[in-house]
Amino acid sequence: MEKCGSSALQTALSHNPTVDSAIYGTLQYCQLNKKGSIAPVYKYGHLLPNISHGYFVSSPAENFSLDDRRLQESRATIERLSRRGGVILSHENWARTLPFFEQAGLLETLGLNAHVVAYVRPPVEWINSAWWQWGAWAGREFNDWLHEMIAATQWSRILSPWQHTRCVASLSVRLSGSDVIADFCELVAAPALQPMRRNIGLPGEILRFMQNHPQFRNGPHDATNDHLFANRLRAFQGSPSPWVLNREQMQVIVDETRASNLALLSLLDQASKAAMHDDPRWWKVEAFDNRQVEDPNPVPLNAGDLDKLAVAALQAVVEMHNEAREPAATMQGQATTRGQWWRKPWRFLSRH
């Protein structure tokens, strides 16, 4: 599921696309595009520095416009890679789009016998995080949006149907904890992957600044500037994302997701079931008593926070300027050296 560590895992797999599993053999992380073409990521690692979010990920299912010829080519690619193991495909929203897979017969067409893996987290925490990912930029009234998100966190309703889907061999539902990458490697019995970055949101001060200056966030699904700011303002030591759920709202979430959470227990392995059962964040609003509630709507930054943010932004400009000068200076030096061959022509002639 989205907001459950998927981008951290996708980043690790993009930088380490070949995974040796004691269960499945050699797994290749691949990208499936909207036309149905599959490409092993190891062939395109050189493109990673040019990707703003820093990882390869497959197409959202709602964008599928599948081409029969490309699907057959992809099936051949999967068959070739499966001789030594299998493939890993990933998109954080696929769990919600099972009808697209069923209507297209995608898994069957690709010749897959899939092990579906999904990560979930307590609905209260997920909804607060989702506000800053999408809700704050959607132009929606908060309570209307909240009601929609409660429906979106009925994890068992979303995931259970995958168990009965053609070409799905198994479903593993995992709890999103502090290290999704390590958990995934343990699940497939593979050596640990080196995490490339921590998957954390933007500091609260930047989020509030963007709320007050919406030109920096072009809608709920365009996070281009989020990735830019996260990368360029790394030195900014801000506060966590603001907590925008009050006690009454949290109680509604807990109450309305309780039945789904109880059903979710049956989808977990024994260790995860015990962990979820004993984790009050799934069952009690008291688990969040230490949260300081803030207004979900735009709140102006104080002068001190604005000053710190301005310093970080100007420092980022200086760093970008210096980075741009370095290759230019190197090229100029090379050109100067080449341009002085006439001072010692015998050296030039000796090269020919």
For residues 192 and 331, state if they share a domain.
no
Q: Look at residues 142, 162, 196 and tell me which one is the last residue of a structural domain.
A: 196
Residues 335 and 189 in one domain: no
Q: Which of 140, 167, 196 is the last residue of a domain?
A: 196
Among candidate residues 147, 164, 196, the one where a domain is terminated: 196
Domain membership of residue 327 (yes or no) is: yes
| Per-residue confidence (pLDDT) for residue 335, from 0 to 100 | 52
Residue with tokens 């579906």: 116
Residue-by-residue DSSP string for 165-206: STTEEEEEEEE--S-HHHHHHHHTT-PPPPP-S------HHH
Domain-located, residue 296:
no
Instruction: Give me the domain span that covers residue 105.
Output: 1-121+176-196
pLDDT-based confidence at 260, cuts 50/70/90? very high
Q: What is the mean pLDDT of residues 187-199?
A: 81
Residue 42 falls inside a structural domain: yes
- CB 233 within 8 Å of CB 216: no
Q: Would you say residue 256 lies in a domain?
A: no
Kindly state whether residues 182 and 329 are assigned to the same domain. no
Tens of pLDDT, residue by residue over 91-119, are 999 999 999 999 999 999 999 999 999 99
Number of domains in the chain: 2
One domain for residues 187 and 334: no
Model confidence at 273: pLDDT above 90: yes
287 occurs within a structural domain? no
Is the residue at 55 inside a domain? yes
Whether pTM exceeds 0.85: yes
Q: Is position 107 within any domain?
A: yes
In a domain, 206, yes or no: no
Residue range 50-89, pLDDT digits in tens: 887 889 999 999 999 999 999 999 999 999 999 999 999 9
